[in-house]
Structure 1
Amino acid sequence: MYQTIRVTAYEPDPAHGPWQEELQVMRLGEQLHAELTRRWEQTHSGADHPLRLPVKRLNSLLLGMAPGVLATGRNAGTDGLLPWLYAHEPVPHEVLAPVVATWAAGVFRRNDEEDTEADWELEDELLAPGPDTSLGLPAWETEPVDLTETAMSAGGTAEPLRRLYGLLPEQVALRLAARPFRTGGTTLHFRVVSTDSGAELVSWPPQRYERRKETWYYSAQVKIALHTVPFAPRIRLHVSTGVRRWATRLALRPHQMSGATVLLDAPLPWPAGPERHPRLVVNTLGYDRRRKEVAWRRHSPAPLVPELDIVRRYPDPAELFASPDKWITGRGEVAAGIVYHPRLGPHEVGPGLMPRERAEIDAWIEEGLRPVLRRVPDLGRVTRSNTPSLLPRTVKRDEPLAREAQLALRRQAALGRVLSGRPLEVEVLWQSAETRTALLAELPKLIGLPPGSGQEIADDTWQWRVNDIEINVRARPAGALLSPLQVSGNRARRRAVRLADAINDRCALVARNTEPPRSSAALVVAEIADKDQFAAHPDSDPKHALRLAWARQGRISQFVNLPTATTSLEHRARWTWLDAFRQLGAISPPAHRVGTGIPANLQYAALWLVRYTAQGPTRCPIRRLVAVRVRPDEELGAIEGWDAERSAWVPYRELLLSLADGNVRDQWRRHGSGGEGVEEQWQREAQRQIRALLFQLRERPTLLLANSANLRQCWPRLSNGSLVRDMLGFGTEPAQRLTVYGNDLRVVLVRDANSREEVPEWYAHDDNGRIGFAEGVWGPAEPANRVFASTARTPHTATLPKGLRKLVPTAESRTAPGKTAWNPAQLEVTVLGCLTEEVLAQSDRAGVTPDRPVEWATLTHQLRYHNDYPPLARPLPLHLARLAAEYVLPLAEAPNAPATASDS
């Protein structure tokens, strides 16, 4: 058993002191900013949105084509006095001017007019402005910059200066890219890719993998992001590793290309500079519905590069779409790679790296960051109570009940609790007879009945009875109910409205073809095609329409995909029923094994913010707070949710139905008033609801669980820099003691990587050089520590050797690149508030035994485990709150609003 884990995170080394760099800084300046903004407004005077100088494409072009530019400052397009460019040495104006002129010519050109002689004069004006213009480029200024400069929050969290979020990852990426990575007798060279959340390293040129008489391409990938950790005295640089796969054939038509990232490798056009740039230029390729062709989109600099370099040939969007394999290896001196996504078709290279290979890259990174940054200290075990009271995976032969039989008894008890004597009415809508047979065979096994035990009480209707539970299942062909939605092509109406019309049409079809349920406990299980099958026609997937239609009838719904050659029907049927039981609320956490420090009558509460933009499931934006309460004790054991309309806790099933019914009355969609902005208004309303919920939980000990990355969107005081131990803050009011909101309230925040690398990767290791995985709760050896790491066990399907090498396969493992390397993620657990000695003393409860933060972290970790599931990504109450978002399905109501470019 491993006793230590190592996180791939780095912090400033105190032995080195500040990381000071003398950087060159350029600001747009008030005059140049004003002149560019004036010209921008002249050419876009008819815009129906606030104008802001569009420097994003310019910044991308500068990073890719101007050697020496280290990073670009944020918000330079709004204020000419903010830093715009950073460099180690002044980049000559003779290099910057053509880049800025090329960008400006494209931005200030009206509609699709051709280049004019005036466009080419912009470069001369930038280099030598005339008396009637303010277009001259400003001079570079020397500025000392501490790349590790921080300010300490009131709660003891080190926070970096804002500009370091972009500047430090870029500096680290360029520093690492200057050194090759050697492994297995092979040398990999890295290029830098700038991202909105930090920087990436991508090995270039890509690796080749021969499979099925075809060649597939992939690269090593290293992501770098700057973050903070609650109550940590130093900032952290999180580094994660993986595989970047490249699409070499696209299994979709041009109009199905919603958007794919393209990295461009272009030589520099400047005669006196280096031949290649250490960066790859980021672009987006997608279908332009107005021009009805594949085109560069979203501030892509690719269309401007040929104007800077008229000698070489660059990829045309249509050509790149048709033959991506011909550009990945390069044509002449230019190469381009389409970043792979599953919607683009199959790929024979599997994602992920195994821990041995990750550890080697991590060691290379550690060496490259010395002496300015050091590795964060390893974490050790803080408890041996890794799991709650789960049934053993294997049961001795002489035991009276096998494990599956014991699980069935527990499911019976949970179903009996939520049904309370009512029959469960199930409608199965099938498209394949195999799925129908598998569903009917698996249901009795899950509740402890032998196969074939159901009684056929009518045509295609079966009944099962066990103890006080009655389940009636009617199975019938799905017919047209599960066919694709027919969305109007009338682009004079907004996309969300057209989709709402199609959804309402499907709801009407369901109402005409489905009898009202006879029981208040009603469920639909529907067999549906995978979402990729609807990709050819956007918004045609009927899943959300059907969920809404059945919810209006008082039925919850669970979907199962059509059979494929790679999935087990029995396995899929089992998970379908288990997820259906979960929606009924027939699930509860196993008894914990933390100890007597946890109150016997503890209840759990979890908060989740549903926040959909116009790209949400129904193309209609909404914000909705979901609250779930779990009472695990036997007498009152229940899964409940907060119904805001009724101001009451209701069974989980009723919560789901209320979310589908009440979301159109979202008070957070209204405009701000009284000088208060929309964001501030909905944050204030959300926090009012949270405080009201805390009041509803005061009658018994409560553990409040929240995902800080999710909830801080409406509760900004959950950001790391605002946290104070054992205090809660709302709005602009001073933070108050936790006990103000409940004498026996504890608050635990969890955080995962959530695509922004907010939590670092990890691997276990020991003194004998072994590298692998380990489950448990981890932290530093400090009794007052509040931040822990929770790692779960690997599932039984993850059986790859820990030392598998994919970047440079060995002769004995030539198929290694085709393997999927699954790694358990770390969940950061922060015990924000508990009853410490200080808290108890302030509350005049000195005789009460104080809490140990490690016990509450352990309890949160154990809530990830359940007999019916592999370890969950989040504690069960939070898992239930998040999944409730599936029923938040708002429909647009504005009937005749004009369409916009983004709508279409």
Structure 2
Amino acid sequence: MSDSKLHLMSFAPVPDTKTTVHVVGLPDSLRDALFTLMPPRKEGGYLNTKVLKDDLRCWLDRAVELNPVRPNVHTDSWLIALAPIDLAKLCNVIAVWISSRKDIDTQSPAYCKVMGMLHPETFEEAVHGEETCLFSGDGRPTGRLTFPAFSAQVADAIADIPLELANGMVENFSRVSRGNGNVYELISDIHWHKEDPWAFALRFHVETLPVGRKARLNMDVAVRRFIGKPWQDDPFLKHDVNAYVRTEGGTLRVVPYGYDKQKRDLAWDPAALANYEFARGTGLPAVREYLEDMGRYARDGSQPQILSPYAMTASWASKPSVASGASVIDKAMFFEAVAARLKDIAEPVGALDSLQLTHLKASIEEPRQADWDKDPVGARARQEAWGRANRARLARCTGRDRAVFQLIGNQDDARLLGMARAEISRFLGGEGAVDGFEVKIDNIPANDLLNRMENTGDSQAKIRWRKVAAALPEATDPTACIVVLPGAESYKPKGKDDGGDPKRALRIAFAKTGRLTQFIEPEDSKDGPEIRARVAVRDLMRQLGFVPEPARNSRGIDTSIPAIGLKVYNSGNGKARASFPYCVRQDMRSGAVTVYCPLLPDGSLPYWRALIEFARLSGSEGFPDSCKRANGMALKRMLHGIVRATGDRPELLLVNSYGRIRQRDWWPGISDSGLESGPLSYGPTGYEEPLDLAGSKLRILRIRSGLNGEVPDWFTDEVAAGGADDGTVPNRRDKQGLFKMDGYFLALAPRPGDAQYKWSARGSKYDSPTAAFCEKTINEYCLLSPGGEAEALASVKYAEALRGCMVQLYKNDMRVNLPAPLHLAEQVEEYIWDWELTGRR
């Protein structure tokens, strides 16, 4: 309803908030001994203590920061914590960290010297306490310490004190002590549904606003599902499991377990196990013993209590009966209870009124069933016009007069492949040559191309690439394939292998022969075969660069303005490092979608050709090394070219600031601290200069998404009547729109019609643990280029409208998470192969 409001799950810290911190300095003698034992790679460089920082945050009570150390520089403020520091435990964590490093000679005199110094007496004179101010009078962070320290202070106000909710439930939260980042997590009491344990998780993290850089404490509510059933077969763990193990004071500390190649068996992480044994004075059961009785170890009162979070990568574990997601009702209950607890140090930011969103419509839309029922003759004419319009649009998008579609599967897949063929024909107005554009559809037997692989590593991928190259000739026309796979069950891990799902390898393999691919799994029970065929064909059109032509009357939005989505690609964790910038330019009127990247021939290609080229480039083992020339200076040159090419023609540049792009080696000028320092600059650190937009009509929008945690979650007003399942708490309203903030905008897309969205405002995980809940996330937009509020609003409305103008969205209520050019840029990653660190020659 128009009078309903949006409530952000965010707090404004009270200005001048102070806290007491406990500080340990690093004695000069120990510092010098550490530099002798583990000298930095570069002369004069810092001591590499990243892993130690994570270990201290995990194993010391409320350790929040470990400051960097340089040679010959006295460090009287090294380790900072919000609780008194146990010096014996500190010495043990340091000793375990050193001993676990593979580059350390444990027989060397340098090692023996450091170990001989690791006792509490070494640090006693370096310990002191002090009161520090976390926020200035205007609410800005006073320094780097603010981010972890205030989150930890908030966690202290909630942990171990019963929290009463509006539905009458009382939860007791425990700290989760882990090493990564500035996010602090609390876990509720453990609940059970059948044999499956689960809990609510509260996560707190301090972020800054894009304008003014005032601090905000964001709160997330999630559901943690844990594995309760014993494993059925001998599990091969490709990924370590970060188990929560309850320790002193009820704190849950993360102790990973996985496959130990040296022991050739499942084992606890040696360093984490050593720290646990020191803290508890006792060990943990063998991993196999634990896995055989996971339900018992998950129970309250178990000694020890061990909880293994469920993840989709845990293919060896039974899927829990508890569904994912906390509902809007749950989020509202927890936020309101936490707000009452934090009233002395933080205040809710308040409720927001919305502005109306604008939705783009295609110039010609497919007739609906109601149209066929009312006027079959008119509907058929519209259907034919729609197909021919799509055909003409595809010709403009590809720049060719012919497109080939290949349907790949086995005999058992004939029905599904037939549906895909009919969908292609229906979407493009038939097969053959019509209006100067030819559509050709072929069936190709899969033979053994789709068989499982021994594993998904580089060596097996290369074997599959060669097999596909031998079976398929090089495609010369735009060629797109629908591939029906045997199904996920065929690719499940067997014995000691880690699963042989060939999708990623096949996508690269087909692209190396000039083919785009979209996969269908026949046993998927969520949607019927007709829907799956339709979705697959639509997504294949997206890969070909098809963008629907918008209606001329677009409710005040000027769709003649091209939009550009800018991204820095970064390879996955544990992979050979490969980073490079690229952007996707989308011209809604002409239909052209172009990718610009310094790695591409001539610097740019149509979208469909760029996908194929990225697969070919990344399919070479030398790819990570070739990316080194596409660095932050290449991004700077790309930005300069965009500004120069725009001139006096309006264009919109969309920048997703999440990830590497805002780091010092790329574009630090778009970070909050970079924006605070003055006019918009571009270039990596040391090469920054103001971005001269004088006379240019280029508008630049920075986007941060709630998907990445930097933008707060939300809930809505209560409904006056009605309630959740048992009526103890009210239902919540639906909400969408733009929200004007102080110098920036927030946007919330309409709720889709899926059940997980619909019931999120009407149910609670307490009453319906098997119900999945989901909500749309908020996007934050900040205009970086010169312009007033009216200009910013027009740009934001256009960006949000682009979320709905995508060919794969076959329902009117569907939206992608980012504006179309950024979404297309994100999808490019499907065609980039990440090389393993160990797989390179």
SS in 2 for 1:198: coil
Query: Could you tell which deviates more after superposition, 22-31 or 80-89?
Result: 80-89
- Is residue 556 of structure 1 aligned with residue 516 of structure 2? yes
Pick from 460, 464, 471: which aligns with 1:506? Answer: 464
SS in 2 for 1:231: coil
The aligned residue for residue 615 of structure 2 is: 660
Q: How many residues of Structure 1 are paired with residues of Structure 2 in the alignment?
A: 796
Cα shift at 1:746: 0.6
CA contact (8 A) 2:669 2:680 kept: no
Cα shift at 1:101: 3.5
Pick from 22, 25, 34: which aligns with 1:24? Answer: 22
Residue by residue over 1:357-399, the C-alpha shift from the partner in whole angstroms, topping out at 9 and shown as x without a partner, is 2101010111111122111232221335355568698856546
SS in 2 for 1:624: strand
CA contact (8 A) 2:328 2:732 kept: yes
The aligned residue for residue 373 of structure 1 is: 346
SS in 2 for 1:483: coil
- Tell me: CA distance 1:72–1:62, structure 2 relative to 1, closer, same or farther (3 Å): farther
The aligned residue for residue 483 of structure 1 is: 451
CA contact (8 A) 2:749 2:815 kept: no
TM-score, normalised by the number of residues in structure 1: 0.79
Cα shift at 1:882: 1.3
Q: Write the distance in 2 (CA, Å) between the matches of 1:141 and 1:421.
A: 72
Alignment of 1:599-610 (within 5 A): 599=558, 601-610=560-569
Pick from 317, 324, 342: which aligns with 2:287? Answer: 317
The aligned residue for residue 842 of structure 1 is: none
SS in 2 for 1:282: strand
Q: Write the distance in 1 (CA, Å) between the matches of 2:55 and 2:645.
A: 52
Q: Name the aligned partner's letter for residue 197 of structure 1.
A: G
Cα shift at 1:761: 0.5
- Tell me: CA distance 1:205–1:296, structure 2 relative to 1, closer, same or farther (3 Å): same
CA contact (8 A) 1:683 1:715 kept: yes
RMSD (CA atoms): 4.0
Q: Write the distance in 2 (CA, Å) between the matches of 1:562 and 1:294.
A: 34
- Tell me: CA distance 1:245–1:702, structure 2 relative to 1, closer, same or farther (3 Å): same
Alignment of 1:352-371 (within 5 A): 352-371=325-344
CA contact (8 A) 2:290 2:297 kept: yes
Alignment of 1:428-439 (within 5 A): 428-431=407-410, 433-434=412-413, 436-439=414-417
TM-score, normalised by the number of residues in structure 2: 0.84
The aligned residue for residue 245 of structure 1 is: 225
- Tell me: CA distance 1:225–1:591, structure 2 relative to 1, closer, same or farther (3 Å): farther
Q: Name the aligned partner's letter for residue 22 of structure 1.
A: T
- Tell me: CA distance 1:443–1:74, structure 2 relative to 1, closer, same or farther (3 Å): farther
Alignment of 1:412-561 (within 5 A): 412-418=391-397, 422-431=401-410, 433-434=412-413, 436-445=414-423, 447-448=425-426, 463=431, 467-485=435-453, 499-517=457-475, 519-528=476-485, 533=491, 535=493, 537-538=497-498, 540-561=500-521
Pick from 767, 775, 779: which aligns with 2:740? Answer: 779
The aligned residue for residue 662 of structure 2 is: 712
The aligned residue for residue 147 of structure 1 is: 134
Q: Name the aligned partner's letter for residue 560 of structure 1.
A: I
The aligned residue for residue 761 of structure 1 is: 713
- Tell me: CA distance 1:699–1:507, structure 2 relative to 1, closer, same or farther (3 Å): farther
CA contact (8 A) 2:175 2:252 kept: yes
Residue by residue over 1:827-867, the C-alpha shift from the partner in whole angstroms, topping out at 9 and shown as x without a partner, is 1122222544xxxxxxxxxxxxx953111111111111136
Alignment of 1:123-272 (within 5 A): 129=121, 135-149=122-136, 158-183=140-165, 184-195=167-178, 196-210=180-194, 215-249=195-229, 250=231, 253-266=234-247, 268=248
CA contact (8 A) 2:484 2:520 kept: yes
- Tell me: CA distance 1:606–1:592, structure 2 relative to 1, closer, same or farther (3 Å): farther
The aligned residue for residue 749 of structure 1 is: 702
Q: Write the distance in 2 (CA, Å) between the matches of 1:654 and 1:802.
A: 41
The aligned residue for residue 323 of structure 2 is: 350
The aligned residue for residue 491 of structure 1 is: none
SS in 2 for 1:401: helix
Q: Name the aligned partner's letter for residue 326 of structure 1.
A: R
- Tell me: CA distance 1:699–1:474, structure 2 relative to 1, closer, same or farther (3 Å): farther
The aligned residue for residue 6 of structure 2 is: 5
Q: Write the distance in 1 (CA, Å) between the matches of 2:740 and 2:733.
A: 18
Pick from 691, 696, 712: which aligns with 2:645? Answer: 696
Alignment of 1:29-40 (within 5 A): 29-35=27-33
Q: Name the aligned partner's letter for residue 187 of structure 1.
A: V
Q: Write the distance in 2 (CA, Å) between the matches of 1:54 and 1:421.
A: 53
- Tell me: CA distance 1:669–1:137, structure 2 relative to 1, closer, same or farther (3 Å): farther
Q: Write the distance in 2 (CA, Å) between the matches of 1:717 and 1:150.
A: 25
SS in 2 for 1:448: helix
- Is residue 647 of structure 1 aligned with residue 602 of structure 2? yes
- Segments of structure 2 that go 5 or more residues without pairing to the other structure are 721-729
- Segments of structure 1 that go 5 or more residues without pairing to the other structure are 130-134, 153-157, 269-275, 455-462, 488-494, 673-677, 810-815, 837-849, 898-904
The aligned residue for residue 96 of structure 1 is: 87
The aligned residue for residue 683 of structure 2 is: 730
Q: Write the distance in 1 (CA, Å) between the matches of 2:712 and 2:780.
A: 9
CA contact (8 A) 2:516 2:612 kept: yes
Q: Write the distance in 2 (CA, Å) between the matches of 1:557 and 1:771.
A: 41
% identical aligned pairs: 18
SS in 2 for 1:601: coil
The aligned residue for residue 355 of structure 2 is: 382
- Tell me: CA distance 1:627–1:126, structure 2 relative to 1, closer, same or farther (3 Å): closer
SS in 2 for 1:482: coil
- Tell me: CA distance 1:340–1:120, structure 2 relative to 1, closer, same or farther (3 Å): farther
Q: Write the distance in 2 (CA, Å) between the matches of 1:58 and 1:807.
A: 34
Q: Write the distance in 2 (CA, Å) between the matches of 1:662 and 1:110.
A: 35
Q: Write the distance in 1 (CA, Å) between the matches of 2:840 and 2:827.
A: 33
Residue by residue over 1:732-780, the C-alpha shift from the partner in whole angstroms, topping out at 9 and shown as x without a partner, is 456535524x62111111111344x111111222695762332221123
Q: Name the aligned partner's letter for residue 637 of structure 2.
A: R
Q: Name the aligned partner's letter for residue 282 of structure 1.
A: V
- Tell me: CA distance 1:735–1:771, structure 2 relative to 1, closer, same or farther (3 Å): farther
Q: Write the distance in 2 (CA, Å) between the matches of 1:746 and 1:241.
A: 35
Q: Write the distance in 1 (CA, Å) between the matches of 2:404 and 2:137.
A: 60
Q: Write the distance in 2 (CA, Å) between the matches of 1:259 and 1:265.
A: 19
SS in 1 for 2:75: coil
The aligned residue for residue 726 of structure 2 is: none
CA contact (8 A) 1:442 1:573 kept: yes
Q: Write the distance in 2 (CA, Å) between the matches of 1:120 and 1:892.
A: 35
Q: Write the distance in 1 (CA, Å) between the matches of 2:596 and 2:466.
A: 29
Q: Write the distance in 2 (CA, Å) between the matches of 1:103 and 1:643.
A: 45
The aligned residue for residue 846 of structure 1 is: none
Q: Name the aligned partner's letter for residue 709 of structure 1.
A: Y
Cα shift at 1:524: 2.2
Pick from 282, 289, 292: which aligns with 2:264? Answer: 292
The aligned residue for residue 675 of structure 1 is: none
Cα shift at 1:191: 0.7
The aligned residue for residue 457 of structure 1 is: none
Q: Write the distance in 2 (CA, Å) between the matches of 1:553 and 1:108.
A: 49
- Tell me: CA distance 1:447–1:868, structure 2 relative to 1, closer, same or farther (3 Å): farther
Q: Write the distance in 1 (CA, Å) between the matches of 2:690 and 2:473.
A: 53
SS in 2 for 1:71: strand
Query: Could you tell which deviates more after superposition, 760-769 or 576-585?
Result: 760-769
Q: Write the distance in 2 (CA, Å) between the matches of 1:592 and 1:32.
A: 72
Q: Write the distance in 2 (CA, Å) between the matches of 1:233 and 1:114.
A: 47
The aligned residue for residue 824 of structure 1 is: 776
Q: Name the aligned partner's letter for residue 749 of structure 2.
A: T
SS in 2 for 1:479: coil
SS in 2 for 1:481: coil
Q: Name the aligned partner's letter for residue 148 of structure 1.
A: F
The aligned residue for residue 887 of structure 1 is: 831
